Amino acid sequence: MPEANIAADKQELPVSTLVSFLDSMLQRENLAPEVVNPLAAVREYFAKEQPVDGPFLSVLLRTQGHKPEAFGDALLCLAAQTDQDFEVIVIDHDSSPEGAAEVARIVASQPKSFGSRVRVIEVSGGTRSRPLNAGIAAATGRFVAVYDDDDLLFGDWVEKFHEFADLGGNKLLRSQVAIQRARPEVWRDNAPGLRTLSWPSAEYPKTFDQVAHLQVNQSPFMSFAFPRVLFHGLGVKFDESLTVCEDWDVILDGSRLLGVEDIPAITAIYRRWEGGPSSYTDHSQAEWLASEQRVVDRNNATPILLPMGAVKQLRELRAAHDVWEVYERLVQSRSWRWTHPMRMAIHAAVELRVRVRSALARFRR
């Protein structure tokens, strides 16, 4: 477990990284009086949850109307949640007329107690970020989670988020997600279906590592619930210039500012598609690299907050880097290269001794 999470566990109640930072500032002696009050006011703002009229959770369900069977699965997983304190905002993004009609039909077919909490908004154009920003604008919940239309939820996805949100702290909540391989399949009557190909496996890191996430995203989108204050207090938005990696961008932004509370339970399944359209086939390698670079550049161009424990982690990484550099210098040195024949001769002698001993042992038997 990263140090940051160990440190957070020692606290009685979760506190966001931002509030923790402000607390450390306010504890300084001789802080100028003109600074204390504004800092305390900001601390107060971010320590408390913003009051909302809506439910606990707003679920943003993105769809392009390509996979009606998977979309039906996604809605059934929501209808079956043990905690029903949520709304669903289906964001139909650039569906064909047939796809949009199918999405509308499936939503309209839901039972009343669930269907009355599902809204459909249609969004045209833009990247994958645009429907998310539209969803954020429409969301009325205390927390927001994003769930794509081809993934699955266990029955306690909302319940676990709710349980940990009620501990307070306004942090991002991160549960565990399993990975399951699937591929499109044609069913009877030529119906477009799907076939699961593997048992769900727990491959993602069990705890959130802020420093590791700067290198690469290690958390699928639906593993997170984001507190409302992230969007409506800190002004975080999805970057509409990104064609992909929009999830990583906001996860980085949110986790740096508010920190992450880990939930020790698998609550969802990420379907890894083999064949058929997915974000990996809809976007070129160049797009992925460009988006990744933009996220890195944006984070590199701003000062960042890191959670408690990150200094020790960075020192260890730096020490490991230094050892690697020493090794690199050694193997590239002239003396190392000149002694190569000698090392090879020693290696061959050792190998020969092992073989002779082995042969003798066989002979003795």
**21 or 161, CB closer to another protein?**
161
Residue 221: burial class (beta carbons within 10 Å; 0-12, 13-18, 19+): buried
User: In whole angstroms, how close is the CB of 142 to another protein at the nearest point?
Assistant: 22
**73 or 246, CB closer to another protein?**
73
**168 or 192, CB closer to another protein?**
192
Residue 63 in the binding site for another protein (CB under 8 A): no
**28 or 206, CB closer to another protein?**
206
Residue 276 in the binding site for another protein (CB under 8 A): no
Q: Which of 134, 173, 257, 266 binds another protein (CB under 8 A)?
A: 266
CA torsion sign for 55, 224, 265, 258 is negative
User: What's the CA dihedral at 318, 258, 235, 243 to 10 degrees?
Assistant: 50
**β-pairing verdict for 143-148 and 57-63:** parallel
Q: What CA–CA distance (Å, rounded) separates 313 from 45?
A: 30
**154 or 231, CB closer to another protein?**
154
**110 or 170, CB closer to another protein?**
110
User: In whole angstroms, how close is the CB of 174 to another protein at the nearest point?
Assistant: 13
Strand-pairing partners, residue 192, are 186
User: In whole angstroms, how close is the CB of 11 to another protein at the nearest point?
Assistant: 22
Tallying the residues shown for the chain, one arrives at: 365
User: In whole angstroms, how close is the CB of 150 to another protein at the nearest point?
Assistant: 13
Residue 72 in the binding site for another protein (CB under 8 A): yes
Helix (H) or strand (E) holding 272: strand 260-273
Structure tokens at 165: 């949100």
Q: Which of residues 97-126 bind another protein (CB under 8 A)?
A: 109-113
Structure tokens at 49: 């949850």
Rounded to the nearest angstrom, the gap between the alpha carbon of residue 103 and the centroid of all alpha carbons in its chain is 26
Size of the site for another protein (CB under 8 A): 40
Q: Which of residues 297-356 bind another protein (CB under 8 A)?
A: none
Spatial neighbors of 234 by CB under 8 A, at least 6 apart, are 46, 257, 258
DSSP state of 50: P
Q: Shortest CA distance to 70 belongs to which of 167, 196, 170? A: 196
Residue 72: burial class (beta carbons within 10 Å; 0-12, 13-18, 19+): middle
**69 or 85, CB closer to another protein?**
69
Q: Which of residues 191-250 bind another protein (CB under 8 A)?
A: 191, 193-202, 206
User: In whole angstroms, how close is the CB of 24 to another protein at the nearest point?
Assistant: 32
Stretch that binds another protein, among 30-38, 148-156, 162-170, 237-245 (CB under 8 A): 148-156
Task: Check if the beta carbon of residue 128 is closer than 8 Å to that of residue 50.
Answer: no
Binding mask 168-197 for another protein (x = CB under 8 A): --------x-x------xxxx--x-xxxxx
Q: Which of 6, 35, 36, 76 binds another protein (CB under 8 A)?
A: 76
147-165 as b/e: b if 16+ CB within 10 A: bbbbbbbbebbbbbbbebb
Q: Which of 19, 134, 153, 251 binds another protein (CB under 8 A)?
A: 153
User: In whole angstroms, how close is the CB of 193 to another protein at the nearest point?
Assistant: 6
Structure tokens at 323: 């050892």
Structure tokens at 354: 């092992």
Q: Which residues of this chain interact with another protein, rule CB under 8 A?
A: 69, 72-73, 76-77, 79-80, 82, 109-113, 152-156, 176, 178, 185-188, 191, 193-202, 206, 264-266, 269
